[in-house]
Structure 1
Amino acid sequence: MPRAVRERQMMDAAVQTFGQRGYRAASMDEIADLAGVSKPLVYLYLSSKEELFTACIRRESEALIAAVQAGVEPGLPADRQLWAGLGAFFTHTAENPDGWAVLHRQARTHGEPFAAEVSVLREEIVAFVTGLIGAAAREAHQGSELADRDMAGLAQALVGAAESLAGWANETGGVSAKEAAGTLMNFAWMGLGDLMNGERWNPR
């Protein structure tokens, strides 16, 4: 069997095991059995459990970012771009629940170097969303822009909400990607729409 195919089998087995069992409870024996290979072969490809888990985080991060970027069609109105991006995000996390569990729960709760790997993913998604929000501001005000600090804060809030909603949707079950995206659009974009029109909430 070609090395690339065998390595993909091992990575698939590792993501499933880590996602369902957790990093500490998962064993290299389980991963090897699920992949249909010997334990020494797993160590030959990836020399330790930590290295294997890190490789899983990187693979799932790259797949998620690629899915979101591919889901957004340039040239669409800003709200349609955000809708498409959210749809792609929730579709990917729903179709890859073990991968999302690795990124959202496991990697973040087991310290370094895993948390740092997930931070890289989050920074890329936040940067992408910041660009969408900036485009929305320019579209609404014909060239004027929100302050960088405002856009950065809004992007952080939106990404955080999407992460939490994806975790809830996967754990609850029965919540489609379209429903999750609609929930967040109704919550976030309606408020963003007022903000783009220069309307801000102020305490009375």
Structure 2
Amino acid sequence: MPRAVRERQMMDAAVQTFGQRGYRAASMDEIAELAGVSKPLVYLYLNSKEELFTACIRREASALVEAVRAGVEPGEPADRQLWAGLRAFFTHAAENPDGWAVLHSQARTHGEPFAAEVAVMREEIVSFVTYLIGAAAREADCDSELADREVAGLAHALVGAAESLAAWGNGTPGVSAKETAATLMNFAWAGLENLMSGQRWAPSPRA
């Protein structure tokens, strides 16, 4: 069997095991058995449990970022682009629950170097969302109203909300990716639309 195919089998088994059992509880014996190979072969190809887990994080992170980017059609109105990006994000998380668990639950809770790998992915998604919000601002002719720092802050908030909602959606029976995306879109776009039309919230003065 070609090395690339064998490696993919082992990686698939590793993602499933890490996602369902957790990094600490998962064993190389389990991964080898699920992949249908010997444990020495797993070590030969992927060296150690830490390196295998890091490879899983990188693969799943790359797949998520690629799915979000592929879901957005350039040239569409700003709200359609954001909607498409959110649907792609939640659909990928729902269709790959073990991969999402590796990224969202496991990698972040076991320190370095795993958390740093996830941070790289998150920054890439935040940068893309920053671009989408900036495009929406330009479409609404309100560049001067939304400073770069504010756009970046909105992007971080939106990505953080998406991550939390994906975990909620994956753990709530009967909730579809489309429904989860619509929940966040209704929450976020109403506020963004008001902001871009100059309707900013401010605390009312106390009596």
Q: Look up the match of 1:4.
A: 4
User: How far apart are the structure 2 equivalents of 1:199 and 1:15?
Assistant: 45
1:106-185 correspondence runs (5 A): 106-141=106-141, 144=144, 146-185=146-185
Q: What is the Cα deviation at residue 146 of structure 1?
A: 1.6
Q: Look up the match of 1:40.
A: 40
User: How far apart are the structure 1 equivalents of 2:187 and 2:66?
Assistant: 25
Q: Look up the match of 2:194.
A: 194
User: How far apart are the structure 1 equivalents of 2:181 and 2:151?
Assistant: 20
Structure 1's 174 and 96: CA in aligned 2 closer, same or farther, altered over 3 A? same
Q: Could you tell me which amino acid in structure 1 is paired with residue 90 of structure 2?
A: F
Q: What is the Cα deviation at residue 145 of structure 1?
A: 5.9
User: How far apart are the structure 2 equivalents of 1:135 and 1:173?
Assistant: 35
Q: Look up the match of 2:73.
A: 73
Q: TM-score, normalised by structure 2?
A: 0.97
User: How far apart are the structure 2 equivalents of 1:198 and 1:90?
Assistant: 30
Q: Could you tell me which amino acid in structure 2 is paired with residue 48 of structure 1?
A: S
User: How far apart are the structure 1 equivalents of 2:123 and 2:145?
Assistant: 21
Q: Look up the match of 2:55.
A: 55
1:21-36 correspondence runs (5 A): 21-36=21-36
RMSD: 0.9
Q: Which runs of 5+ in 2 are unaligned?
A: none
Q: Look up the match of 1:96.
A: 96
In the alignment, structure 1 residue 17 sits paired with structure 2 residue 52 = no
Q: Which runs of 5+ in 1 are unaligned?
A: none
Q: Could you tell me which amino acid in structure 2 is paired with residue 92 of structure 1?
A: H
Number of residue equivalences: 204
Q: What is the Cα deviation at residue 26 of structure 1?
A: 0.1
User: How far apart are the structure 2 equivalents of 1:19 and 1:142?
Assistant: 43
Q: What is the Cα deviation at residue 94 of structure 1?
A: 0.2
Cα displacement string for residues 136-180 of structure 1 (whole angstroms, at most 9, x for unaligned residues):
000011665620110010000000000000001111121111100
Contact 2:142 2:196 in 1 (8 A): no
Contact 2:61 2:103 in 1 (8 A): yes
Structure 1's 135 and 33: CA in aligned 2 closer, same or farther, altered over 3 A? same
Contact 1:18 1:102 in 2 (8 A): yes
The residue matched to 2:165 in structure 1 has which SS? helix
User: How far apart are the structure 2 equivalents of 1:140 and 1:79?
Assistant: 11
Contact 1:141 1:197 in 2 (8 A): no
